[in-house]
Amino acid sequence: MSVQHRPSRVGAGSAASHGLSTGHRAGHDAPQRGNHRPLANVRAVAARTISRVLRGRSLDDALEPASRLRMASDAAMVRTLSYGVLRELSALQWLTVQLLDKPLAADDDVAALLLVGIHQMRTLRTPAHAAIHETVDAVEILKQPQLHGLVNAVLRRYSREAGVLEQRLPKDATIRYSHPAWMVETLQRDWPQQWESVLAANNVQGPLTLRVNRRRLSRDEYLKRLAEMNIAAEAHPHAADAVTLAEPRPVEKIPGFVSGQVSVQDASAQLAVDLLDLKPGQRVLDACAAPGGKTAHMLERADVTVTALDADGARLIRVDENLRRLKLQANVLAGDAGEPARWHDRKPYDRILVDAPCSGTGVIRRHPDIKWLRRPGDIATLQQTQLRLLKALWPLLKPGGRLVYATCSILRDEGDEIAGRFRLLGEDLRVVPVAATWGEKTDHGRRIAPGGAHDGFYYAVFEKKA
């Protein structure tokens, strides 16, 4: 449950009806009933999605109108365009400014449409005539027909001058890698030798990684099944239950997903169960459990009793759904992990996992909106939350028990800094070195850079002295 990147969360959504759905401005997103070409409509939906994110909504929320598109392929295209533009936003905005006599407001729908049009030619390699024609058609759907000529002129000029403009693109990392300045500066400090590769990895879509339910079948058996179906996949070198698919596919088309043989979970997140070192009969707390991937993994690995706790009762629905699909059982509980007096039954735990709320900077490659929604001031607040949870939960751990602290962050302030502060809080606390071949050692734990088969992650392990 580490990722908390929704400062302006309004409601979630996903993908799919021609015609634009109602949105956050009255009448602005109403379905259109003309003879507009479907592809132009897709570009209009993508433009509105992007402008919503730039006004502060999460990408998941902003994509909600796309769920009403009639064709699944149209919804998929909206996602492709939206994710792509947000990944290279700064570079696209710089290019747009060079092509305009007077800049448009950054969060204007037509400004976003220009980004969509340039992204198609620049990155998706859409033929210029097709990208320009369909994007210009979308202007009318956005109810700004007076800008029809401007959009046409800007896109045609880009198609002519792309080579020169790309050569003039500033070398500044904030533009080259499309990250906010504060994030670039922090990564340069925290990853002095790797910061450029981390920024670059954030802009590359991560692979689809599955977790094989070893209660149902072995990883080798599942890989054999995939091979028989001509689905290319490979075993992950570090996560014992992980299989990485060569090509992504919808969950309903993943063999064994519906029946509970496999789940979707990044390899970095799957490492938590190894660090917990579970034994049969143990009592385990997953303190920030939603959406339930790590809870399920614990139950797949060992005969343990798990309490899945989360402060967001609505998100616990996902935990229940995942457990039912996998035919597993846990004590699912709504409550603030920082206030155990309100929910704890006074029986200590053998193991506690604190997958703490964090900036989500380790999963930017899957959630590019994090770059633009997260603010530097958020980090201190998240640090306070993480320490509050650790301090509140430590007394619930048995002597000899183990607590694993995890974040899907690549910032030292949400990793080693917190682990170091927590280590100083009690004489009964011992840091357990994380001996592994994945990631790299830090002062108090181990961190993983994003890229390839891994999302960015941090782990530290503590044991309570007997």
Exposed, middle or buried by CB within 10 Å (0-12, 13-18, 19+), for 26?
exposed
The 10 Å Cβ neighbour count of residue 14 is 11
The residues with which 152 forms a beta bridge, in sequence order, are none
Out of 139, 273, 323, 408, pick the active-site residue: 408
283-286 and 305-310: which strand pairing? Answer: parallel
Angle at 82 between CA 80 and CA 86, to 5 degrees: 120
Q: What does the alpha-carbon distance between residue 120 and residue 155 come to, in Å, rounded to a whole number?
A: 10
Dihedral angle at the C-alpha atoms of 297, 206, 252, 261, nearest 10 degrees? -30
Angle at 353 between CA 352 and CA 355, to 5 degrees: 155
209-212 and 242-245: which strand pairing? Answer: antiparallel
283-286 and 349-355: which strand pairing? Answer: parallel
Tokens 């302006």 -> residue: 8
User: Which residue, among 362, 358, 372, 370, has the nearest Cα to 451 in the 3D structure?
Assistant: 362
How far lies 235's CA from each of 36, 89, 224, 267, 439, in Å?
46, 34, 11, 10, 18
Based on C-alpha coordinates, what's the Rg of the chain? 24
How far lies 465's CA from each of 397, 398, 443, in Å?
10, 9, 20
Active-site residue flag, 288: no
What sign for the dihedral angle of Cα 180, 184, 185, 187? positive
Cβ atoms of 411 and 186 closer than 8 Å: yes
- Chain centroid offset of residue 107 CA: 22
What sign for the dihedral angle of Cα 436, 438, 442, 448? negative
Q: What does the alpha-carbon distance between residue 398 and residue 352 come to, in Å, rounded to a whole number?
A: 10
Amino acid at 365: R
Q: What does the alpha-carbon distance between residue 205 and residue 210 come to, in Å, rounded to a whole number?
A: 16
Query: How many residues does this entry show for the chain?
Result: 466
Phi, psi of 309 (to 5 degrees): -110, 140
How far lies 266's CA from each of 116, 381, 395, in Å?
29, 26, 31
Active site residues: 408
